[in-house]
Amino acid sequence: MTFAQPDVAKKVVIDGVEYYEHKIEAGNTLWGLQKMYGVSTQEILDANPQLTEGLKVGQKIIIPTSADSSKEIETFNYKVKKKETLYGLSKKFNTTVDQLISLNPELADGLQKGQVIKVPGSKEELAESDTKEHIDTPVIEKAPNPFVIDTIVSAENIKSEVIVSFSDTTIKHVVLAHETMYSISKRFMISIKELMKINGLKSTKVKEGQVLIIPVKNERIDKVQIKEVPAEYDPDGEDTLYFEKKEMYHIAIMLPFHLDYGPNYSKYVSNLSTQFYMGAKLAIDSLEELGLNAKIHVFDTQNDSAVIANLLSQAVFAEIDVVFGPLLRDEIMQVALFCKTNRIRMVCPAATDIAVLENNRLVYASVASNITLMKGLATQLNGMSSSDNIILIKPLDEKSVPNYEAFRDAYKEIATKDSPNLVEATIGSFTSHIRRKTKSRFVLPSSDKGTALKFMKNLNASSFRSNPGGLYVYGMKEWVSFTDISNVYKNKFHFSFPTSNHVDYFEDKVIEVNKWYRSAYKTDLPKFAIQGYDVLFSFCNDFFLENKEVTLLMNDFRMDQVSAKDGFENSNVYLINQVEFELKKDGEE
């Protein structure tokens, strides 16, 4: 299990020496590489003589790790401030968490306020860096664009010393179509935070044609050669996407754990995130037995868009193959846009706004939306006896009206002369449609407790108009938690609801995984841990293991693409019935 850290790349061993392996991307410069990995340009050139011909997109180079550097690292003592973290310090001092721990082995046990530690660099550099944050740099209109420059001076003798000089400048960059703050920060190797500060921005959103001031480092003393970077992937295209098979995959799990608490902390959301992750870990163990070779990167999103933007700017995301999460709507939309721009698949593990699938072929919604559930319910009720009456009741709450309309439109589209009759009614008028010797099936697609409670009370008061057992209620899954509605009523009126997943804790497979979960975590298996297990197990299997057969615990993912330009949604719909105070899938005894 690997937790994502900034500025850390894949490590390789060559002739017994450990290096980082870095794949050159458009916009990479020697200045950026030396700052990212904490080594000098000369050390990078010594390890890669071919770089005298320039950095080339797609080229793989090796960079000495800090432990392998032949030069003694300059350090000074630094007193840790309140709320500072290893991650934050690694960014502040242009180093890695691994190097900080190497300089201070005691940090493996945690970081404390007031603790004095060794950090790379000098106090003068730190003071200069802090001062620069408050200085407005003048703009040079025709400065070279580091997105396309060849950053290394050529040399006749590859073994001779290569002199690389740097000079400060800025450019004005016009935002191109489909560019994001993240892609611009990667292109120019500058943090999102610094970009926002220099340009006085309060949001990470940018628009086509917007002009941004970019601080850059010129790395040449001769004429700059401009190269055009060809586009390979159209984020708004509709062609089928294919993904290369790899020896190792990188999987990101992004959840609002709130490990440091903070202003947006929610105990409920934090617990759900932890449960999902615990189930996901079991799934990864199972996938490894099937042959999956993957590195897991876990990120705490903290329900904070600025935190997420910072996470997405980390170098490790250049390697990510799939993102699982986040959980909350705004987080989901932010990460989905990033994944669309950077051609990374994203799986939403919980219910989400269907809008996230619009014009984004890389998003997979593992939980069916309410609209899809209503369409599935309409299909199932269409198969009932033609003598039955289906009474569709308009919700009192506005947010549930789209569910009502989705059921109505779907039912009318598939209804035939042999279908049950559909009647539309209101909370105040539905009881007039109750008939003796006819089964009345009431559909109230509302998640509002007040609406559901009023309906059930009215129904019970008028139930004498029907033959015993002739009334059926179809609500929403939220009703299960509405304790104000008597379970006696739910049982009496054959309460049912549509859902895309359901768990039976008495099934053999669930019992087996529950024992495994207890052994690992000393507690029983909660539903969202099961979701974590199913989601990771199913989608990693489909994406990376060529669809080997797997057994899930509570899901049957049937992923349908909304359109050629849109994402995929789980179209599976179970009808859950309350029978003798137990919830069972329709057809189960």
Q: Is 25 exposed, middle or buried (0-12, 13-18, 19+ CB in 10 A)?
A: middle
In whole angstroms, give the CA distance from residue 298 to residue 250: 11
- Residue 203 and residue 164 share a domain: yes
Confidence class for position 146, pLDDT limits 50, 70, 90? very low
The residue type at 443: V
In whole angstroms, give the CA distance from residue 460 to residue 493: 9
Nearest residue to 331 (alpha-carbon basis) of 360, 299, 361: 299
Highest mean pLDDT of the ranges 150-159, 164-173, 481-490, 509-518: 509-518
Number of domains in the chain: 4
The tens digit of pLDDT for each residue in 549-564 reads 788 999 999 999 989 9
Q: Higher pLDDT residue, 227 or 257?
A: 257
Which pLDDT score, from 0 to 100, does residue 220 have? Answer: 46
Q: Spell out the alpha helix ranges (H) of 255-400.
A: 267-289, 305-312, 329-342, 370-382
Nearest residue to 424 (alpha-carbon basis) of 413, 414, 435, 411: 411
Which pLDDT score, from 0 to 100, does residue 151 have? Answer: 34
Which pLDDT score, from 0 to 100, does residue 209 have? Answer: 85
38: phi > 0 → left, psi -120 to 50 → alpha, else beta; which?
left
Q: Does residue 2 lie within any of the structural domains?
A: no
* Domain carrying residue 202: 10-69+134-218
Confidence class for position 222, pLDDT limits 50, 70, 90? very low
**What is the percent of the chain where pLDDT is above 90?**
51
Which pLDDT score, from 0 to 100, does residue 264 have? Answer: 83
Confidence class for position 204, pLDDT limits 50, 70, 90? confident
Cβ 10 vs Cβ 21: under 8 Å: yes
The CATH code of the domain that includes 452 is 3.40.50.2300
- Residue 490 and residue 386 share a domain: yes
Q: Spell out the alpha helix ranges (H) of 290-369.
A: 305-312, 329-342
- Residue 31 and residue 179 share a domain: yes
Q: Spell out the alpha helix ranges (H) of 360-439.
A: 370-382, 401-414
Q: Higher pLDDT residue, 160 or 531?
A: 531
Please check the confidence at residue 382 and state whether its pLDDT lies above 50: yes
Highest mean pLDDT of the ranges 40-49, 150-159, 187-196, 310-319: 310-319
Cβ 20 vs Cβ 33: under 8 Å: no
Highest mean pLDDT of the ranges 148-157, 219-228, 482-491, 502-511: 502-511
- Residue 478 and residue 552 share a domain: no
User: Mean of the per-residue pLDDT values for the chain?
Assistant: 83
- Residue 301 and residue 156 share a domain: no
- Residue 448 and residue 486 share a domain: yes
Confidence class for position 108, pLDDT limits 50, 70, 90? low
- Residue where a domain terminates, one of 121, 151, 182: 121
Please check the confidence at residue 292 and state whether its pLDDT lies above 90: yes
* 101 half-sphere exposure, CB direction, 13 A CA radius: 11
Cβ count near 106 (within 10 Å): 11
Strand 10-14: give its sheet, edge to edge. 10-14, 17-23, 60-64
- Residue 207 and residue 156 share a domain: yes
Q: Does residue 235 lie within any of the structural domains?
A: no
- Residue 143 and residue 34 share a domain: yes
Please check the confidence at residue 172 and state whether its pLDDT lies above 70: yes
Which pLDDT score, from 0 to 100, does residue 461 have? Answer: 94
- Residue 158 and residue 14 share a domain: yes
The CATH code of the domain that includes 97 is 3.10.350.10
Please check the confidence at residue 224 and state whether its pLDDT lies above 50: no
Which pLDDT score, from 0 to 100, does residue 335 have? Answer: 96
474: phi > 0 → left, psi -120 to 50 → alpha, else beta; which?
beta
HEC sequence for 541-577: HHHHCCCCCCCCCCECCCEEECCCCCCEEECCCEEEE
- Residue 419 and residue 300 share a domain: no
- Residue 150 and residue 202 share a domain: yes
- DSSP letter for 236, please: T
In whole angstroms, give the CA distance from residue 239 to residue 361: 9
In whole angstroms, give the CA distance from residue 86 to residue 185: 22
Which pLDDT score, from 0 to 100, does residue 508 have? Answer: 93
- Residue 164 and residue 59 share a domain: yes
Token couple for 482: 């509405």
Angle, in degrees to the nearest 10, between helices 267-289 and 527-544: 40
In whole angstroms, give the CA distance from residue 376 to residue 372: 6
Q: Does residue 510 lie within any of the structural domains?
A: no
Please check the confidence at residue 143 and state whether its pLDDT lies above 70: no
Confidence class for position 493, pLDDT limits 50, 70, 90? very high
In whole angstroms, give the CA distance from residue 322 to residue 316: 12
Q: Does residue 426 lie within any of the structural domains?
A: yes
Token couple for 137: 């740099």
Q: Does residue 588 lie within any of the structural domains?
A: no
Q: What angle do CA 333, 369, 501 make, to 5 degrees?
A: 115
Q: Does residue 230 lie within any of the structural domains?
A: no
